[in-house]
A and B are shown apart, each in its own frame.
Chain A
Amino acid sequence: MSDSDVEPDGRGGAFHAVILFGGILFGFGLGVSRMARPEVVLDFLQLQDLGLLFVMGGAAVVSALTFHIGTNVLDRRAPLTGRAYTRRVREMDRNVLVGGSIFGVGWGLSGICPGAAYASVGIGNWPILWAIGGMFLGAYAQGFARSKLAERDAGTEVTGAD
């Protein structure tokens, strides 16, 4: 199976307790904002209830303040991991547009995104398991295709893998 030589991002009770606590706040927020209900998200996408803008906006304001404090105010590393505080930056390429478009069709069709789907399990919405099963299928399919492409490329040209 997988190599277990990789050092995990963190370990120990305190580390997992903080992650769990953050997840609980996150899931509670998805419940309060009713994003765990596909119907409410579909109402937004059909432009009948624009409340979702306040969910994403409210969360983004808090995270912006958080990352500002982490990168500009705190002059230290994270206590539980020794990691430096950074911002979330991803390289721009065509995949961001292609992936965003495919995600958009899926989100528009079902009203479901990953975090909200996990939260939906917590509110007892068992039919959401169709969506979660679908997400794993989709993630597996793209992983399968990319792994095979990477192997093929590695076979034809001797270059370092990404």
Chain B
Amino acid sequence: MTSVRILLFRSAAALALAASAPAAVRAEGLVSTKRLSASLAAELVLGAVTACAQKDYHVGAVVLDTSGVQQAALRGDGAAAQNVLNAIDKAYTAASFGMDTAELVERAKSGAVSSAFAKVPHLLLNAGGVVIKVGDEVIGAIGVSGAPGGDNDVVCAKAALEKIKDRMK
């Protein structure tokens, strides 16, 4: 009978969903998330600012957790206040979508971009927001702004992430 078939299908689908859901999503009544320790967050912003400074790029860097709350910020020598504000928005966007803003910029080229960008404050379609991941789980994002071109911001962010990645556990 049709209804039985639907029921069977639903059960199978539910089972498949339960099996594929990562630990963080399989919550009963509480959601547990991770974020960087303050010391790693501090090291991350310094790492990004330093990596850019070595190329004579004056940037601001910000680390946000997945709630969009600031953990650490650093305005590099010669960087302007708006670099920090831009960095916040880049990190916010990456944390919110769970992907690097450079990837969002790529997607926007084929038209696949959320209409939220035009409406929601702090969403910014600019390369330089990079997600911080532990395994597959996004635990935050770093935003860098001030280098010539967002792609150069990304390089500094990733250099800093590389230095702490083995200690994110």
- Is B one of A's binding partners? no
B interface residues (Cβ-Cβ under 8 A, vs A): none
